[in-house]
Structure 1
Amino acid sequence: MELLYLNTLQSFLLVEGNRLGQTVQELNNIYQTELNVFLEFGNGADILEPAQRTSVPTLWIRNPENQKVLKGNFSSSSLTILYLEDEHLDRGLHYLVNWLWEYNHLQVLIFFNGGSYDKLIQIFRRCFNEGLVNILVMLLDSEALYTFMPYQGLTILNFKSVKEFYDHSQKKIDFNGYNITSGLIIAGAPRCFSFRDRQNRLILSGYMLRMIVDFTNHFNGSLKLINVVTVNDALELLANRTIDLFPFLIRPLESFSMTNILYLENAGLLVPTSRPLPNWVYLIRPYAFDTWIAWLIMLVYCSVALRIFSRGQISLSDAFLKVLRLVMFLSGSRDMGTRPTTRRLFFFLILTASGFILNNLYLAQLSGNSAAGLHEKQINSWKDLDKFDGVWPLIDVDITTTEKLIPDRTELLKRMVLTSEANVDLYRRNLNTSCIHSAYFDRLEFSLYQQKFLRLPILRKFPHILYQQPLQTSAAFGRPYLQLFNRFVRKIFESGIHLKMKDDAYRHGIQSGLLNFAFRDRHLEVKSNDVEYYYLIAGLWFCGLTLATVCFLAELLIGSIKIDVTIYHVKRNS
Structure 2
Amino acid sequence: MGYPLRVLVTNDPPHCFVDKDELPGSPNRYKGSIVTMLKIFADQLNATFQANPFREFRRYSTADCVQMVSDDEIDACGSIFIRTYTYATSQPVRLNRVVIMAPFGNPIEKFYYFFRPFDLYVWIGTGIIVVYIAVMGSLLHRWHFKEWNVGQYLLLAVQTLLNRELSLPQSSSGSKFMLLLLLFAIGFILSNLYVALLSMMLTTKLYQRPIENLADLKAANVNILLQTHNIRPNSVYGSSEELRERFLLVEESQHLEKRNGLDPSYAYVDSEDRMDFYLYQQKFLRRRRMKKLSNPVGYTWAVQVIKQNWVLEKHYNDHVQRFFETGLQNKLVDDVHELAVKAGFLHFFPTQTQTIEPLRLEDIVMAAMVLGGGHALAVICFLVELFA
TM-score (norm 2): 0.72
Cα deviation 1:39-81 (Å, max 9, x = unaligned):
xxxxxxxxxxxxxxxxxxxxxxxxxxxxxxxxxxxxxxxxxxx
Contact in 2 for aligned 1:187/1:425 (Cα 8 Å): no
Structure 1 CA distance for aligned equivalents of residues 123 and 378 of structure 2: 20
Q: Partner residue of 1:527?
A: 357
Cα deviation 1:516-567 (Å, max 9, x = unaligned):
224689xx9853566756666666666677778888999999xx9xxxxxxx
* DSSP-derived class of the 1:226 partner: strand
Q: Partner residue of 2:5?
A: 180
Whether 1:449 and 2:280 are equivalent positions in the alignment is: yes
Q: Partner residue of 2:249?
A: 417
Q: Partner residue of 2:32?
A: 206
Paired AA for residue 177 in structure 1: G
What pairs with 1:116-155 in structure 2 (closer than 5 Å)?
none
Shift of 1:183: 1.2
Shift of 1:292: 4.0
Q: Partner residue of 1:342?
A: 174
% identical equivalent positions: 21
Structure 1 CA distance for aligned equivalents of residues 188 and 49 of structure 2: 78
Greater RCO (CA < 8 Å, at least 6 residues apart): 2
What pairs with 1:393-412 in structure 2 (closer than 5 Å)?
393-396=226-229, 398-403=230-235, 405-406=237-238, 409=241, 412=244
Structure 2 CA distance for aligned equivalents of residues 216 and 546 of structure 1: 78
Q: Partner residue of 1:221?
A: 47
Shift of 1:195: 1.7
* DSSP-derived class of the 1:471 partner: strand
Structure 2 CA distance for aligned equivalents of residues 527 and 469 of structure 1: 46
Contact in 2 for aligned 1:391/1:434 (Cα 8 Å): no
Contact in 2 for aligned 1:181/1:224 (Cα 8 Å): yes
| Root-mean-square deviation over aligned CA pairs | 4.8
Contact in 2 for aligned 1:386/1:412 (Cα 8 Å): no
Shift of 1:191: 0.3
* DSSP-derived class of the 1:478 partner: coil
Paired AA for residue 470 in structure 1: W
Structure 2 CA distance for aligned equivalents of residues 407 and 531 of structure 1: 42
Paired AA for residue 219 in structure 1: L
1:434–1:350 Cα change, 3 Å: closer
Shift of 1:471: 2.0
Gaps of 5+ in 2: 146-151
What pairs with 1:301-316 in structure 2 (closer than 5 Å)?
none
1:281–1:527 Cα change, 3 Å: farther
Whether 1:358 and 2:190 are equivalent positions in the alignment is: yes
Contact in 2 for aligned 1:429/1:514 (Cα 8 Å): no
1:429–1:374 Cα change, 3 Å: closer
Shift of 1:489: 3.0
Whether 1:237 and 2:68 are equivalent positions in the alignment is: yes
* DSSP-derived class of the 1:268 partner: strand
Structure 2 CA distance for aligned equivalents of residues 247 and 426 of structure 1: 23
Structure 2 CA distance for aligned equivalents of residues 388 and 204 of structure 1: 40
Contact in 1 for aligned 2:97/2:298 (Cα 8 Å): yes
1:287–1:426 Cα change, 3 Å: closer
Whether 1:380 and 2:209 are equivalent positions in the alignment is: no
Whether 1:466 and 2:277 are equivalent positions in the alignment is: no
* DSSP-derived class of the 2:81 partner: coil
1:282–1:250 Cα change, 3 Å: same
Q: Partner residue of 1:136?
A: none
Structure 2 CA distance for aligned equivalents of residues 367 and 541 of structure 1: 17
Shift of 1:483: 2.5
Whether 1:512 and 2:343 are equivalent positions in the alignment is: yes
Contact in 2 for aligned 1:180/1:244 (Cα 8 Å): yes
* DSSP-derived class of the 1:442 partner: helix
Larger radius of gyration: 1
Shift of 1:303: 8.7
Structure 2 CA distance for aligned equivalents of residues 276 and 381 of structure 1: 20
Shift of 1:236: 1.2
More displaced 10-residue stretch of structure 1: 384-393 or 350-359? 384-393
Shift of 1:440: 1.1
Q: 1:265 aligns with which of 90, 93, 96?
A: 96
Contact in 2 for aligned 1:299/1:320 (Cα 8 Å): yes
Structure 1 CA distance for aligned equivalents of residues 176 and 16 of structure 2: 82
Structure 2 CA distance for aligned equivalents of residues 506 and 342 of structure 1: 75
* DSSP-derived class of the 1:196 partner: coil
Paired AA for residue 3 in structure 2: Y
* DSSP-derived class of the 1:237 partner: helix
What pairs with 1:75-90 in structure 2 (closer than 5 Å)?
none
Contact in 1 for aligned 2:83/2:300 (Cα 8 Å): no
Aligned length: 369
Q: Partner residue of 1:286?
A: 117
Q: Partner residue of 1:192?
A: 16
Paired AA for residue 342 in structure 2: Q
1:383–1:536 Cα change, 3 Å: closer
1:434–1:199 Cα change, 3 Å: same
Structure 1 CA distance for aligned equivalents of residues 218 and 158 of structure 2: 45
* DSSP-derived class of the 2:338 partner: helix
Shift of 1:212: 0.7
Shift of 1:199: 7.3
1:367–1:483 Cα change, 3 Å: farther
Q: Partner residue of 1:138?
A: none
Contact in 2 for aligned 1:182/1:246 (Cα 8 Å): yes
Structure 2 CA distance for aligned equivalents of residues 280 and 387 of structure 1: 17
Structure 2 CA distance for aligned equivalents of residues 548 and 292 of structure 1: 27
Shift of 1:243: 1.7
Whether 1:276 and 2:102 are equivalent positions in the alignment is: no
Paired AA for residue 21 in structure 2: D
Cα deviation 1:135-171 (Å, max 9, x = unaligned):
xxxxxxxxxxxxxxxxxxxxxxxxxxxxxxxxxxxxx
